[in-house]
């Protein structure tokens, strides 16, 4: 049983175990992990303790779809991709925000909710994309391309956002870039998404020159087109769903390319029985729970940074956050980064 100092009655533990078991019934997405009845009984004291602490501390827990299901379904108040969670962070009235995701997302929450105490369960939860470019490096790039509009993907550090004209997500990037007056766009930090944007804007008849920096996502950059062809041969009628952080070769052979939220919507509204999800395995876990009857084939790609989150670390960050778990930002950087994100809210299409 997991370690907790809180005391609960046998009836409370039984009811919590049942709740967790119902939520996890379909999940088998992480190799070597199981969410059977025994596992749920094991998590129950900790999820009860965290949910009690949330009320005492006036806290909300934001959970990215890529963290483990016991966090998403056990204690999360909001679950989704970084854009959705950034909106929830902006609108949160809580005194404390626990961001079960990665550090750049928690920084975004702090930018949007400066008065809240924002904490990360594990300070080591970086991101190969966000960490590929610093504010200093972006300043040098800007000097090399004067006059270009600087557009940063939301997967970037607060320093990079502070140096950018507008922030974008994989869902709103095309509409926002199309609205910018500049023809030359410096898009950072994802090189592969930049290549996919170039192709999509051309298809839409939008004339822009896209210059990129050299970051990639270590989860999405490894999928390959031959594996997609092999899966299609084995599963007739298969739908292939890819994230725009994948390579252009993979995007070209997918049935649908979109943000995490758009991928979920595509699967939920599609009739096909089989899906190959070219993204992090946590999204497959959510789909297993939320679209029973559909089948997900293919291997599992895990984001090692997202998987640093755990229930124990969430509990510790809530109970008595260590200094390294508390997100702080320099005021000037926070203000400039907030301007860049506000510009995104202004220019993004309203659903």
The residues binding ligand SF4 (CB under 6 A) are 66, 102, 127-129, 155, 217-219, 280, 303, 305-306
Q: Which is nearer to ligand SF4, 16 or 68 (CB)?
A: 68
Q: Which is nearer to ligand SF4, 148 or 254 (CB)?
A: 254
Q: Which is nearer to ligand SF4, 180 or 261 (CB)?
A: 261
Length of the chain: 351
- Least distance from ligand SF4 to the Cβ atom of residue 201, Å: 22
Residue by residue, DSSP assigns 165-232 as SEEE-TTTHHHHHHH-S-SEEEEESBHHHHHHHHHHHHHTT---EEEE--B--TTTTT--HHHHHHHH
User: Alpha-carbon distance 268 to 178, whole Å?
Assistant: 29
Q: Which is nearer to ligand SF4, 100 or 127 (CB)?
A: 127
- Least distance from ligand SF4 to the Cβ atom of residue 300, Å: 13
Q: Do 221 and 246 form a contact (C-beta atoms < 8 A)?
A: yes
Neighbouring residues of 147: CB distance < 8 A, sequence distance ≥ 6: 182, 184
How big, in percent rounded to 5, are the helix, strand and coil portions of the chain? 45, 15, 40
- Least distance from ligand SF4 to the Cβ atom of residue 307, Å: 9
Residue by residue, DSSP assigns 247-280 as -HHHHHH-SEE--HHHHHHHHHH---SEEEEES-
Q: Which residue has the tokens 């602490």?
A: 53
Q: Which is nearer to ligand SF4, 155 or 164 (CB)?
A: 155
Give the residue ranges of DSSP H helices in 25-157.
Answer: 37-57, 69-72, 82-91, 103-112, 135-144
Residue 188's nearest CA partner among 147, 153, 149 is: 153
User: Alpha-carbon distance 160 to 150, whole Å?
Assistant: 10
Tell whether the torsion through CA atoms of 330, 105, 348 and 188 is positive or negative: positive
- Least distance from ligand SF4 to the Cβ atom of residue 222, Å: 11
- Least distance from ligand SF4 to the Cβ atom of residue 220, Å: 6
Q: Which is nearer to ligand SF4, 164 or 216 (CB)?
A: 216
- Least distance from ligand SF4 to the Cβ atom of residue 104, Å: 8
Q: Which is nearer to ligand SF4, 40 or 97 (CB)?
A: 97
- Least distance from ligand SF4 to the Cβ atom of residue 285, Å: 14
- Least distance from ligand SF4 to the Cβ atom of residue 227, Å: 18
Q: Which is nearer to ligand SF4, 49 or 280 (CB)?
A: 280
């Amino acid at each position: 049983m997991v370690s907790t100092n809180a005391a609960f009655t046998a009836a409370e533990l039984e009811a919590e175990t049942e709740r967790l078991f119902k939520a996890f019934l379909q999940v088998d997405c992480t190799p070597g992990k199981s969410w059977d009845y025994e596992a749920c009984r094991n998590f129950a004291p900790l999820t009860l303790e965290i949910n009690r602490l949330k009320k005492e501390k006036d806290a909300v827990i934001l959970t990215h779809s890529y963290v483990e299901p016991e966090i998403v379904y056990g204690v999360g108040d909001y679950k989704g991709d970084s854009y959705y969670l950034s909106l929830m962070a902006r609108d949160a009235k809580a005194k404390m925000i626990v961001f079960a995701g990665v550090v750049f997302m928690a920084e975004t929450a702090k930018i949007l909710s400066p008065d809240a105490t924002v904490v990360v369960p594990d300070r080591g939860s970086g991101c190969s994309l966000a960490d590929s470019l610093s504010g200093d490096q972006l300043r040098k790039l800007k000097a090399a391309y004067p006059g270009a509009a600087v557009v940063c993907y939301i997967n970037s550090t607060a320093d990079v956002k502070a140096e950018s004209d507008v922030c974008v997500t994989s869902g709103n990037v095309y509409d926002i870039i199309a609205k910018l007056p500049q023809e030359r766009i410096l898009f950072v930090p994802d090189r592969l998404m930049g290549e996919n944007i170039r192709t999509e804007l051309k298809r839409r008849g939008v004339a822009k020159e896209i210059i990129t920096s050299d970051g990639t996502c270590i989860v999405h950059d490894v999928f390959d087109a031959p594996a997609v062809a092999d899966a299609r041969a084995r599963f007739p009628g298969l739908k292939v769903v890819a994230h725009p952080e994948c390579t252009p070769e993979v995007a070209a052979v997918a049935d649908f390319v979109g943000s995490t939220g758009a991928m979920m919507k595509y699967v939920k509204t599609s009739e096909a029985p089989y899906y190959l999800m070219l993204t992090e395995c946590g999204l497959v876990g959510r789909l297993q729970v939320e679209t029973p009857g559909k089948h997900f084939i293919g291997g599992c790609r895990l984001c090692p940074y997202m998987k640093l989150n755990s229930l124990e670390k969430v509990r510790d960050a809530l109970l008595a956050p260590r200094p390294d778990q508390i997100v702080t930002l320099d005021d000037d950087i926070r203000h400039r980064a907030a301007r860049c994100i506000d510009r995104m809210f202004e220019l993004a299409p309203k659903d």
